[in-house]
Amino acid sequence: MNTLYNKEPEIRINGKDREIWAGYASIAAELRRKSEGQAKTVLAIECYPGVRLREIEEGIRLHMPIEAVFHAEDAAIDAERREAKMSRYLTDDRVFGYMAPFTVDEFYDESKLERLRERIERVSHGLVVIIGFGASLAAEPDVLAYADLARWEIQQRYRSKENGNWLAGNADEDLLRKYKRGFFVEWRMADRLKQAVLPRADYYLDTNAKDRPVMATAGALFAGLEQAAAQPFRLVPYFDPGVWGGTWLEKHIGLEPKPHPYAWGFDGVPEENSLYFRYGDIRMELPALNLVFFQSAHLLGERVVERFGAEFPIRFDFLDTVGGQPLSLQVHPHKAYIREHFGMAYTQDESYYMLEAEDDAVVYLGLKEGIDAERMIGDLEKAQQGGFTFPAERYVNAYPAKKHDHFLIPAGTVHCSGTNGMVLEISATPYIFTFKLWDWDRLGLDGKPRPVHLEHGRKNISWERTTAWVNDNLVDRVEPLGEGDGWTEERTGLHELEFIETRRHWFTGKVPHHTQGTFHMLNLVEGDEAVVESPEGKFEPFAVRYAETFIIPASVGAYTIKPGSGSRSGRLATIKAYVRS
């Protein structure tokens, strides 16, 4: 078991230990201090959708008197108008919508807001709390707090049916539809509001753990973000069971056994992963997206920001089929298609790096020569209707896969991982845009057929990507680039159609790297432990272990990687990804 893998990586923040409070008693004491000497204090608690509003209200009230509480959502437009606004962007599809351009004020009634402000104004003394998603619209507060939580925690609340979507009353609805509403509408709107409100907030409130809030001054939060964007760091990983899951993650990372095996491991997806900031004895969890939003240039680099905006365009994740089943046969949309149909600016180009592989591991990639496209689509349609098994190997190449092989998968290429592979997936970020073509005659963990999007898929298959083209363009494209004292560098892809550059370094000594004005995302794919250092002493030495993904911000500039003291193997290797110039 690889117990060295750190499942709870932290960033220790310097100099702000006195600007953080854990638990409602300590938070209330700080709020009392903040309001001392004032006859009336208006506290606005702006919230990300999914925050437990009642818990916050009751938790504060338990430790300090509150004269009045107002709920921002009382001023929202009615349900019929909300649904009419959202319907075009939600669509009838179970999985896919269209990226919505809304801001939160579009869902509030100005006359209701004005009446709410008048009610707040009529309270003459004491602590007055306005809380909810949109609370900052309802008052000019004396104290402004922002209550936040991570995307993964939101999804857990969807799954447990504790929460539905914002004002939707749909806690019991299909999980995929709840996720779709969050992804395409709510989270986009909430992220725009966060970017506007948080820089003027007094406090930041971490509400991820039930009844265990953590509050920091906004100054302490932003100091932490600034520090994180100047040093190597890791995201907080999470792991999820799936119908095709394997045994590698549980065995080698030391995960709690589940009734269904782990299929996915996410330790390099800033849109969904968290960060842990450690201030003295208190740990605070925050969405990694906060770093992307508020330290864009230092983290991503100006060239990447100019191209993608405040988005982290690369992700690393794990796909575990060791002792499990194949992934669904799938294809990703072309750039023009994803832009036209879903409102995304770029598409899900990707690759499979084989972190581990059993002797019989395969990757399905590209189409065989001379196949009949209409016959293949006809067979896929019959398989979707049931009673017919799609003959995948009649149409799709199956390549033997061994450890350290790298398979390139530009959008439009039919592909999936077969059984007995442990894949490090290196991908562009719009990661829900997978068009399943066939799912090997199985049901999802919910007992329902997993969604197949054959109509989208057939319009995006690049039929010319057959065996000869795949062999020339997508398999075994290793190009030696250079070497030094104790290291060699190779280019392993990606294809010219993709914007991600990947480099592999084999090393027994110290390897020089430089960000060249863009972020680097890396994984230690061989060896027990490596250490990242700054030649200029900009940051403390940073240790990484086998299979850990880590990020080097653009602002770091020069850095080195060398074998760590805990490394028992001779030769180590990293795979590095960045945005190609």
The residues of the chain that CATH labels 2.60.120.10 are: 241-473, 479-579
Phi/psi class of residue 279: alpha, beta or left (left: φ > 0; alpha: ψ in -120 to 50)? beta
Q: Where are the alpha helices (DSSP H) in 129-284?
A: 151-160, 175-181, 187-197, 218-228, 248-253
Reported confidence tier of residue 156, pLDDT bands at 50, 70, 90: very high
SS3 89: helix
Q: Would you say residue 568 has pLDDT above 80? A: no
pLDDT (mean) for 520-525? 98
At residue 441, the pLDDT reads 86
pLDDT at position 3? 62
Is pLDDT at 346 greater than 80 in this prediction? yes
CA atoms within 13 A on the CB side of 47: 25
- Please check whether residue 450 is in contact with residue 443, taking contact to mean a CB–CB distance below 8 angstroms: yes
The top-level CATH class assigned to 11-228 is: alpha beta
How does pLDDT run across 98-147, given as a tens digit for each residue?
999 999 999 999 999 999 999 999 999 999 999 999 999 998 999 999 99
Q: Looking at residues 381-406, what average pLDDT do you find?
A: 94
Q: Give 467-508 pLDDT, tens digit per residue.
A: 999 999 999 899 999 999 999 999 998 888 889 999 999 999
Quick one: average pLDDT of 183-204?
98
- pLDDT score, position 430: 78
Q: What is the pLDDT of residue 405?
A: 97
Amino acid identity at 142: D
Cα gap 515→508, rounded to integer Å:
21
Determine the 3-state secondary structure of 483 from DSSP: strand
Percent of the chain with pLDDT over 90: 92
284: pLDDT strictly greater than 60: yes
Q: In the structure, what pLDDT confidence band is assigned to residue 448 with cuts at 50, 70 and 90?
A: low
The larger pLDDT score, comparing residue 449 to residue 409, is at: 409
What is the identity of the amino acid at 562?
K
What integer pLDDT is reported at residue 480 of this predicted model?
Answer: 96
> What pLDDT does residue 315 have?
96
- When pLDDT is averaged across residues 504-531 and rounded to a whole number, the result is 97
Dist. CA 384–CA 386, nearest whole Å: 5
Residue 384: band (very low, low, confident or very high) from pLDDT cuts 50, 70, 90:
confident
Looking at the domain 479-579, which fold is it? Jelly Rolls (2.60.120)
* pLDDT value for 524: 98
CATH class of 241-473: mainly beta
The pLDDT value given to residue 150: 96
Which amino acid is it at 515?
A: T
Higher pLDDT, 443 or 153: 153
Section 284-307 average pLDDT: 98
- Mean pLDDT score of the chain: 95
pLDDT tens-digit map of 3-61: 689 999 999 999 999 999 999 999 999 999 999 999 999 999 999 999 999 999 999 99
- How far is CA 313 from each of CA 187, 189, 355, 427, 442, rounded to the nearest angstrom? 17, 19, 22, 8, 32
Task: Please report the pLDDT score of residue 1 as a whole number.
Answer: 40
The reported pLDDT for the residue numbered 190 is: 98
Query: CA-to-CA distance for 343 and 142, rounded, in angstroms?
Result: 39
CA distance 470 to 397: 9
Question: Rounded distance, CA 451 to CA 173, Å?
Answer: 16
Q: Residue 532: pLDDT above 70?
A: yes
